[in-house]
Structure 1
Amino acid sequence: MNNLTERIASLSPERRRLIERLLRQEGVDLLRLPIVRQLRRDQPFPLSFAQERLWFLDQYEPGSSFYNIPLVVRLQGQLDIPALHRTLDEIVRRHDILRTVFPVVDGQPVQYIVPTLAVPLQEVDLRHLARETRWSEAQRLAREEAQRPFDLRAGPLIRAALLRLADDDHLALLTLHHIIADGWSMG
């Protein structure tokens, strides 16, 4: 029995039936799924070919923001900012790649997973600005954030900011370096 089968077996009968039905619809045979084993995270790993390419380009043109992936999400309604920050920290905790840095060891770039990483959530309050200038200032700050380069060796390679336009209107900015994310994984 593999890890997924064990986890599904531990669910309530209703959830188990639902998941098993959805997996069957997708043609997934639970007994044939490979076992996912956790790797040791206290050692460096080689870079993938795509990561090597991005690392090389970063060395060729240091300080470039060309491979930044900026995301902007408008959040309207009451926002629990501490809950948003805890959610961001939990996502980073659960995804090793978001805690990965790319130092050079013995002349070669490697990827190393940092055991813990708290992503600061920079908060910028724009409510003091006149209504007609808030949006243009928010756009300027979002562009500025998207252009800030990352340090692949030291990380973190993810940044977050929250722009408060009104009590119930915010822009969440998230910027990642392409070496830790791509179009497929962002979806």
Structure 2
Amino acid sequence: MTAFNPAANRRQTGATLLVAIMMLLIITLLALSSMRGVSLESRITGNLKMQKTLFNAAEGGLRIGENSISKAAPPSASSACNSTFCLRWSLSDLTVSTSKDTPARFTTSDGSNVTTIANNYDVKVQWYVVDLGNLVGSSPGNCAALGCGPHHYEVNACASTVLCTSDTTTPRVILRTVIARYYP
């Protein structure tokens, strides 16, 4: 049996303590870098989810806008627009201002072609339809003899977490389609 020797204890310099502290420091740094990576991946995943949600909502707005064209009255030579549903914007409106193809287009003094869709995903969808007219080249005067051909419509939809006209910094998705409809 060995006797307790206080002089032997004084010769130890604490190398074990120093090694343990260094290992704890390295493990802490590894844990912090892993947490930072997880945080970044979470933000990326959240952004991708929001982008897909906005795209799907804008696509739904396009479908609703396209469906509304089936309810539109056939185009007439007069611009009185006295039917139950007609489109007040025409192709000439698109060339008036460059703001017509931006989110500012979703605010109108008329407001008849801009619709906001309510949903459960905290996404606001707005859409509008522009009557592009007959792009084939026949005039309304000879439709009875030759037929008018297809009538084209531009449908635009914007999806965002706020109304597309409220600010310019919030992420949004704007989709556009052009469809043709034949009138008898």
Question: TM-score under structure 1 normalisation?
Answer: 0.20
Structure with greater contact order relative to length (CA < 8 Å, sep ≥ 6): 1
Q: TM-score normalised to the size of structure 2?
A: 0.20
Q: Which has the larger radius of gyration?
A: 2
